[in-house]
Amino acid sequence: MTDIWSEALQGLQPRLGAQTYDLWLRPIALRAVNGTRLHLTAPNRFMKEWFENHYLGVVLDELRARTAQTYDVEIEVTADAPAAPTSLPTPMPPPATEPVRPTSPPVPVLVAAPPPQLSGRYRFPNFIKGAGNELAASAAWAAAHEPGTRFNPLFIYGGVGLGKTHLLHAIGHHIHATRPEQRIVYQSAERFMNEFIAAVRFNQFDEFRSRYRDQCDVLLIDDIQFIAGRDRTMDEFFHVFNVLYEAEKQIVVTADRMPSEMQGMEDRLISRLNWGLVADIKPPDLETRVAILRQKAEHDHIAIADDVTLHLATIVRSNVRELEGSLVRVSTLAALKHVPITCEFVSDVLGAPAGNAQPPPVSIESVQKVVCAHFSVRISDLKGPRRHQGISRPRMIAMYLCRQLTSASFPEIGLRFGGKDHSTVINACKRIESIQTDDRELRATVDTLRRQLTGAESTRTAVHTGSGGATITAPGAVL
């Protein structure tokens, strides 16, 4: 049976890809067979859950096709538990004829302190997982559990207030709690740049490089997009990255967009950020928002009924920070006015009518603003004549979304984009429609922008993997 199990897994390799096979199938081992029940082992809980949720059904189908037999499975996690301290036997006293030599005092073990920038609020137990952040959260846990060996580097991207910083802090806290000897450096990209500028100004290169290259086992960098266009800062970070990566030190980076969409970032740095796993975080779906509100209410001792929580989650859809801030605002005003928190009170405070309110219509101006914010370009660039790819691609996407989401005609869209001819708009729409068929990254970008503009709910987990990185199939995808 062991041979058939191995053959079934290997038979899936052409369909799933070598990277996926090595990451998710190879570590799952067949321990025993009891009739039609297979006893499998996984190296850790994260691997077990991911295999069960995304690949178990495919493997069982492959086994059924090969053996004409339906199997049940039982997966056991075999991670080694830390050994319990054992008491040593009392040593025998030395012979009287042999002089007693003084023993050397034990060598103290130096334990690095956690970075003071790590917030105690942001830990794994209070991070709410949902469809929009499942992959990023699971990958962050795996990187924290096995730093430097899996998902290195780990790149997490997403909009403001969706949990990127929470995961970054949680990784730092978990590694310090389980591996206190690890030296953790947490830094925002802006602070990294300022420290580098100070090192240049005061000729302190040795101290700066020693901190990030020699005295760092885990590097956590938040909002890496802020160093784009800063040539010397990017060059220094490039060398820091290389030193730590070659030493198998864990690197985790966050940004508000995927590496390939960061204008001004050097190609060599983009390539390295793509080496590991690149996963995004989307706005939370309704169920996740409700769970976040309930956790916040319980933590802050806010009395709020379930139907009111659902109503609040329905109104606020943008991000976690705004969601929690809305709850604090509502509860504070209710306490000041000595009134209970009801659906009507929530609607009055947040300026949203009770019931199912329709989102406002999408305008050409709103499309232009959202696209410019996503690609870090100016509206004047979209309306201007420049044909550089960094401008032309966002312009075509904006034209395509205007045609899809507004009632504007081709000539009107062209007029609002600096007086472009209507044929230019038609060609742009056809071009984007055609490219999306084969370009998964572009399709994901367009879908993200469309959801931002329409406020549509999303329950998919999009995954982008860079060259040389792991290829992960999104939940719900057809293998």
**What value does the mean pLDDT of the chain take?**
81
- C-alpha span between 9 and 315 (Å, rounded): 46
Residue 58 has which token pair?
């495919």
Write phi, then psi, for 112 (nearest 5 degrees): -70, 140
Task: Between 474 and 398, name the one with better pLDDT.
Answer: 398
Write phi, then psi, for 430 (nearest 5 degrees): -65, -40
- Structure confidence at residue 428 as a pLDDT band (50, 70, 90): very high
- C-alpha span between 125 and 119 (Å, rounded): 14
Please choose, from the candidates 454, 453, 451, the residue with its C-alpha nearest in 3D space to the C-alpha of residue 462: 451
pLDDT(101) > 70: no
pLDDT for 185: 94
CB neighbour list of residue 221: distance below 8 Å, 6 or more residues apart:
187, 188, 189, 192, 237, 251, 252, 253, 254
Tokens 């030193």 belong to 243
The pTM (predicted TM-score) of the whole model is 0.57
Task: Between 46 and 43, name the one with better pLDDT.
Answer: 43
| Residues 281-313 pLDDT 10s | 988 888 889 999 999 999 889 999 999 999 999
| Residues 108-132 pLDDT 10s | 445 566 677 888 889 999 898 888 8
- C-alpha span between 479 and 474 (Å, rounded): 10
- Structure confidence at residue 26 as a pLDDT band (50, 70, 90): confident
Work out the number of other CB atoms within 10 angstroms of the CB of residue 263: 14
Average pLDDT over residues 257-270: 89
**Percent of the chain's residues with pLDDT above 70:** 84
Q: Going from the N-terminus, what domains does the chain have, and what CATH number goes with each? A: 2-77 (3.30.300.180), 124-281 (3.40.50.300), 286-350 (1.10.8.60), 364-454 (1.10.1750.10)
User: 280 forms bridges with which residues in the sheet?
Assistant: 157
Report yes or no: 372 and 382 within 8 Å, Cβ to Cβ: yes
Q: Is it true that the peptide bond before 153 is cis, omega within 30 degrees of 0?
A: yes
pLDDT(444) > 70: yes
